[in-house]
Amino acid sequence: MVAQDAGVLAVRNILTRLSKRSGLSPDRLHNTEIDVSPLLDLLAVRQYAHRAGIGRVEAVIALVRDLTRQLEPTDRLIADAELCLGLLRETAPAGIDLDHLYASDLGERREYLSTQWRRLHETLGVQNIPPAPSVRSLRANPERRAFTALAERLATGSVFDGASTYSVLPTQPIVAHEDSPQPQPATITVVGDAVIDHMYLVDRIPGPGGTARGTFDDHPGGKGLARAVAAARLGLRVRLICAVGDDDAGRRILDYLRSEGVDTEFVKVVPFAPTPVTSVTIAGTGESSTIGCKDDRVRLSAQDLRSPHIKAALTSSDAVLLTFEQPLAVLEHILGWLRHHDSPPLLVIHPAPSVSRPQQLYQYLSAADYLVGSVRELEAVAMAAGVVPDAALTPSGHGGGTATSTVIESGAKAAGMLRALGVPSVCAIQDFTCTVWSDRVEATLDPFPTALRDSLGAHAAFSAALVYRLLSTRRPADQQDYLWATAAMVATQSIGNVPGAMPLATEIDRIATLATEEH
């Protein structure tokens, strides 16, 4: 039996035993001979208690009541009556004797439930009412089904972290620039993945059948996490929307985000599922290869996006940073909201990794203010549009080295297609170089001198730095803004801890100043 099934069975057995006598109550939980610790230790109970500021016993009562309301009508009636939850006292339906339905004796509650079966279902507006069971048959399959459904919601329901950490935001000052006013406090919401990076540092990346000597380390990582940390280190107020497992790795990620001043309230925690891991092999030049290991349960869902709190977090932000790591339905929800919002936040999209059927997102791309990615990533989105055949794009063929005219030409074609789909500004970032196509700027910035050919955190640093400049100046980006964001990429040069390499504004200023003096 898998851990999830065992957990559901344990919770169901506890609920069944608690239904005896007077039902579920604080006194019963405090004084019962039943071992209720598996119930009190459930992730959903712990998070409910944390958010509400109450004890776990009180949280169990409140959470069971909330989840019972979500059950199918028959299961709801059985769980409500047998656990003596009193849900129908909120509406006091005519013709129902609530003192009998919620009597202190379980046998009396069962008897009344059986005899008033049809009327109770009618109070819930049920059209196709199942046949009324006898008390004996009620104790078999109907009760087992109802308590199993409730136990599944309790034991396996994903919850959001709920721990706001704005009180521990970074203390470094936000740096003002000569060409920009002092920035106002701004909030950025990042939607992307958080994982544990398994880092293998080698002299060279071996080919098929090859071997290499190296060293190993592991760190919190992921495209969403890196962008959130990068923005927080620049002094922005940052919250991350992502999913992790309810395991040591997930808790490590949450602790790390809080230590960096990132709000984790909207980090979804999934019970009985492992936090994603990415295996990263990095050569001495900074070039890398990755293997993603994910459990499909640990991801955001369209149901999560129905939360009014998440919608409010997105639409009230000054800027949203979005990567294409989420299911297509999630991306459609987010882009649809922002596209039709009266006063949408600044939206920067990184179209990686590739999504299936990206054509479904084309109608929403006009919601983006900036589309930022490597030439290969931009090509992948543009070619799927079918505006022109794949052959019309020159293969970028990049695997390192500086941006060549071939790469720039290929990026220009992809950018032209994307801008035709409504994207105002397209940025191709590669090998610490930025090429921009927009109404205000169309240029390839002179490359900065670098020790490495690539850096895993470069794209995250670029996007966070660009957002920082845009929120500081409150105007569309000009060439100096792109230069500053490019300097942020250069500042990430390191081999190992990706989010740990995200720079402060003072570091970016220093590199940008040096580059300006040299040119």
What is the predicted pLDDT for the residue at 365? 87
d(CA 220, CA 229): 11
Q: Count H helices, E strands: the chain? A: 20, 15
pLDDT value of residue 447: 79
Q: What pLDDT does residue 392 have?
A: 47
Helix locations, 36-192, DSSP H = 37-40, 43-52, 56-69, 73-82, 98-101, 106-115, 117-123, 135-138, 141-156
Give phi and psi for 454, each to the nearest 5.
-160, 165
Whether residue 379 contacts residue 410, with contact meaning beta carbons closer than 8 Å, is answered with yes
Every domain of the chain with CATH number 3.40.1190.20 lies at 160-518
| Per-position DSSP letters for 347-396, written without gaps between them | EEEE--S--SSGGGGGGGGGG-SEEEE-HHHHHHHHHHTTSS-GGGSPP-
**Which H/E stretch holds residue 302?**
none
- d(C-alpha 133, C-alpha 142), whole Å: 8
Q: What whole-number distance in Å separates Cα of residue 120 and Cα of residue 405?
A: 75
Residue from 1, 2, 65 nearest 273 by CA? 2
Label residue 31 left, alpha or beta by phi (over 0 means left) and psi (-120 to 50 means alpha). alpha
pLDDT of residue 176: 41
CA–CA separation, 199 vs 183, rounded Å? Answer: 36
pLDDT of residue 205: 81
- For 30, the token pair is 């405090």
Q: Are strands 159-160 and 237-245 parallel, antiparallel or unpaired?
A: unpaired
Q: How is the chain split among helix, strand and coil, in percent rounded to 5?
A: 45, 15, 40
pLDDT tens string, the chain, 519 residues long: the values are 455 688 899 999 999 999 988 899 999 999 889 999 999 999 899 888 888 889 999 999 999 999 999 999 999 999 999 999 999 998 878 889 999 999 999 999 999 999 999 999 999 999 999 999 999 999 989 999 999 999 999 998 888 877 654 333 333 433 444 454 454 569 999 999 999 999 888 888 887 888 888 888 999 999 999 999 999 999 999 999 999 999 999 999 999 999 999 999 999 999 989 999 999 888 877 788 888 888 888 999 988 888 888 989 999 999 999 999 888 889 999 999 898 888 999 999 999 877 666 677 888 888 999 999 998 889 888 876 554 444 444 444 443 444 456 666 778 888 998 999 899 999 999 888 999 999 999 999 887 888 888 788 999 999 999 999 999 988 999 999 999 999 999 999 887 788 999 999 999 999 998 876 665
Distance from C-alpha of 243 to C-alpha of 384, rounded to nearest angstrom: 28
User: Which CATH number, 3.40.190.10, 3.40.1190.20, 2.70.40.10, 1.10.600.10, labels domain 160-518?
Assistant: 3.40.1190.20
What span, in angstroms and rounded, lies between the C-alpha atoms of 51 and 161?
Answer: 9
